[in-house]
């Protein structure tokens, strides 16, 4: 689930995100949305428990696009603090371990 979500977030524009989401089946999109929003009720079973109509595929696609549009984890979002493709910097030369850990 995480890999599919990351691929959608990494797409260059929202039209690509929409096409990528539309390539998935409705049930998979609902599972992705439920994974992303653990307190939500995206699956048919949870929607029925909450006495809500189940989401259609188009509603699920639109929800994915809206969530990714508003996400600060998109690769092109300037609010993102880290770059997952960047190599971590080396420790500064002055850095020394504090000693051995006690067991």
**pLDDT by residue (tens digit) across 81-92?**
555 555 555 655
How far is residue 91 from each of residues 23, 84, 96, 97, measured CA to CA in Å? 43, 18, 9, 11
51: left (phi over 0), alpha (psi -120 to 50) or beta: left
Which portions of the chain are predicted below pLDDT 70?
Answer: 72-103
Decide if 10 is inside a domain. Answer: yes
Domains in the chain, number: 1
Q: Can you give the pLDDT at residue 100?
A: 61
Asked, for residue 42, whether it belongs to a domain, the answer is yes
CA distance 75 to 12: 8
Q: Is residue 54 part of a domain?
A: yes
Q: Which structural domain, as residue segments, surrounds residue 24?
A: 2-69
As given in the structure block, the two tokens for residue 2 are: 């995480």
Residue 45 lies inside a defined structural domain of this protein: yes
Q: Is 77 contained in some domain?
A: no
pTM value is 0.70
User: What is the C-alpha end-to-end distance of the chain, expressed in Å?
Assistant: 38
């Amino acid at each position: 689930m995480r890999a599919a979500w990351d691929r959608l977030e990494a797409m260059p524009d929202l039209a690509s995100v929409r096409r990528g989401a539309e390539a998935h089946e409705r049930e998979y999109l609902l599972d992705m949305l439920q994974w992303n929003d653990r307190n939500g009720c995206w699956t048919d079973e949870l929607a029925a428990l909450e006495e809500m109509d189940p989401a259609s595929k188009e509603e699920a696609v639109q929800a994915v696009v809206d969530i990714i549009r508003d996400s600060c984890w998109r690769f092109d979002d300037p609010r993102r603090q880290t770059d997952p493709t960047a190599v971590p910097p080396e420790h500064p030369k002055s850095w020394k371990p504090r000693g051995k850990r006690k067991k």
